[in-house]
Structure 1
Amino acid sequence: MKKWSFKGPLLFKLTALVLVVTLLSVGVTTFFVARLAQRSLEIKAREQLRADAQLLSLILDEADTDGTQDRQALAERVASLEETTGRTIRVVDASGQVVAGSTPSGFRLDDYFAVFSDLEGGAVLQVLLPKSEVSMSRGIAEGALIITVVVAASSMAVAYVVNRSITIPIYDLLGLVRKMQERKFGRMVLVRSTDEIGQLGRAFNELSEVLDDLFATIRNREGQLDTILSSMDDSVIAVNMRRDIILANRAAADLWDLPENGIGQNIFEATRHEELTRILEKTMDSGETFTNEVRLRPGSERTIAITSSPLQDPRGRIQGAVAVMRDVTSLRHLEQMRQEFVSNVSHELRTPLTSIKGFVETLLNGHLDDKQLLERFLNIIKAETDRMIALINDLLDLSRIEGGKLRFNKAAVDMKKVFDDTVLLLQSKAEDKQITLQNNIYDPIIVEGDEKLLRQVALNLVDNGVKYTPEGGRVWIEAEQGLDSVEFIVADTGVGIASEHLDRIFERFYRVDKGRARQTGGTGLGLAIVKHIIDRHKGTIAIESRVGKGTKIRITLKKMN
């Protein structure tokens, strides 16, 4: 069954209610007043009938109501009295017959007020008055109706004014509440009275001020939190117990390629990463913190460290989980490089030390008198010692360059002269292998840099070209000038480098062919030192090579203004 409800403005409701109550009150009052007036009229009518009956009985007692010769006179007398009094008069004899008076058509005694009076001779006088004549007049009814209308209109006007004084503040409060729903706080309502509604208005004004301050504080904290989260390099994602994302900073959106409307999405649907989803679920189920490292995507080299912690309310109930993620790919790569570095240094030092120890033990076992063998072993020991010294010096140079401890003397450097001196220094070494070594830079080229470090670069690159070029090959230097920089090219027709090695060729101790590198006396640090020196000069270095065809190394340096 549908529940009945009265819809409409409050002012209309209250005014209509007052009108209904007023009409009911006036109607009930009018009804009872009319009843009272009717009864008064009936009582008065009966009293008048009694008085008339007594008077008429005295008059009629003088007539002989039983005499047949006087009945005509009696009838005339009764008719005359009816006309005079306006009453219906009947004389009934002892047998119940009407001997005088009129009987209206359709006569029913119940429709009349009747008073009976005994006459002489056993006759009865009946004085009748129709009940329809004993009622309020039309004028009285119309007056009552007019009074009712006037009272109702006055009540409605008064009710409208009073109700309006009540509903206007309520409408103002309703508007204030709607503004609060729109998060527009600090609005006030006009307080027009000191009664309960006025007190309610003041309370709402105070509430609006408190909420304005509260939400201002919340907005400030949200802004600070957003600023902190946005400026974090670490990715942060929080989920609720339904596994829906409730927070994600910019780093997380970039890391997982989250859509703009990612908030509210399921964590797995948004990231498509089973391991991240599993760690968050495990945290919510157990309420413990977990740490793990995962691959960003299957087959990807990027490593992500995830720390997942539970989100708890003030009562300690788990509401979700938050994951802080950091890309540790570079860190793991550095750790791997450190491990390889320690292993390589240990290996590079152990090999010559083992060789030296073996020769020394051989000599100590009774071969000191063999001068030819002694001289041969001592020369080998000297060569191994020189290789260890070169290795240690390269390590020290690399450490100083990487740590920024190497002094950088910026000046104008003529690279034509640097390469001329390098060619002159390595010319005899090239001639021993019948290698053509040429500097094809014919005019001075002045760059900005540290001459000592740039000479080390030139020597390393040209020396590598001579080392790894077979007999009868060719090594040359050339330059291509730009507007603000110069590209120097050290090229050879050597053995070349396979493409899979080119990305790691500038790493420390990285060798394409370790056996060949040791035979040529290399430490595996030369190109790493070159790259760091070029980086220190804010230049670039690149390598091109084909196996069996040769190698080209390009370095770009800034021209001197």
Structure 2
Amino acid sequence: MTAALLVLISVLCIYILYRELSIRRLSDELEEILESCMLGEFNKRMFLPGRDRLSRVINRINNVAEITEQRIKKLEEEKIRWQSLLRGLSDAVLLVDEEDRVEIVNDTFLQEFNLKERDVRERLYSEAIREPVLIELIERARTTGLTQRGNIINEDTDRVFRATVYPVRLNHSTNIMVILRDITERKEVERLKRDFIANVSHELKTPITNIKGYVETLIEELSPECRDSLEFLRVIHKNTQRMERLVLDLIQLSSIESGAIRIEKREIGLKDFLKEVTEEFRKAAEQKGLAMSMSLEDEQEVIRADPLRLKQILSNLIDNAIKFTEKGSVVVGAFREDSLLILFVQDTGIGIPKKYIPRLGERFFRVDPSRSRELGGTGLGLAIVKHLVNAHGWRMEIESREASGTRVSIIVSEDG
């Protein structure tokens, strides 16, 4: 009996010792696997036969490791595909992480700006990039949460890039994506086209003026009995006037774009200035049955602007408003919003479809070409306004609804 009890105790001790050693071995293996996982290695496994609870836990750990390993492989493959795609892009691409460090940069970006990846990756973008305009666009995109666009000129190569900078949500953080498209050739073509149009316009100005003068003389000298001849001459005169307006607008626009026109700002009292401009168009408005009015929040309001260019801006806007308004009113005014001065011209005209608003201000762009020609428009009025507004350092915004009217606002900078 005693011997049997001793044998039983011995077996029990051996079993306990075995279990202890097994658990310790399993614990060591598990610790080794977990350390490997922490280092990003998920290829190690543990094997424990049986159906007990510990075996099930070990099997689940193996399953988790296997699933994680497969997902990491897929992510690595996806990363390689994206890197290949980025390398093949002709656009320069840069991604800035939430901490303002460069996370991704493609070869095109590095080549265009003569940079090395080791000098850019994981560095603050403000230190890695030497383009102040691009840095400002990134800062504005981060601050506003809105897409920013602008032109970047590489001073070393004289190449021009169109920059699009916008926030991107990745892994619960807000990154900034930068895409630069080389538009050097397009800009050169545009310059050549502008130069050609400017030269042709100057060449046409004198003969058109002469033709107009001869036609006016013939109209004055022909007797009233020559009705057919007078009618033909009036048609010629009308079309000559339209050509003259087009040529003068082209010459003016070319001068503005080339920087030949200087903006000389001085203080202007808005009350008298707006009254003078609106009075010049009152007769044209009344002939169409339109109410012409002025709205000024503060009659003592003063603006710093070039008087001649400001008059051109407002005159073009009022002229457009009257042309494209059949009934209702045209209002010219100014008010302050958050300390910014806003000039506006508002009408109750035909309005503009939303899809066309971004194109307003382009040369020769007309929403309805046939109607615009019928009304004598050149398609250059808003282009001239846009350039003069930019030359002042201001901003133009257009709001419109079809059949309800249009409002053009000029947001004047604080120093204006």
- TM-score for both structures, normalised by structure 2: 0.50
Higher relative contact order (CA 8 A, sep 6+): 2
Q: Which has the larger radius of gyration?
A: 1
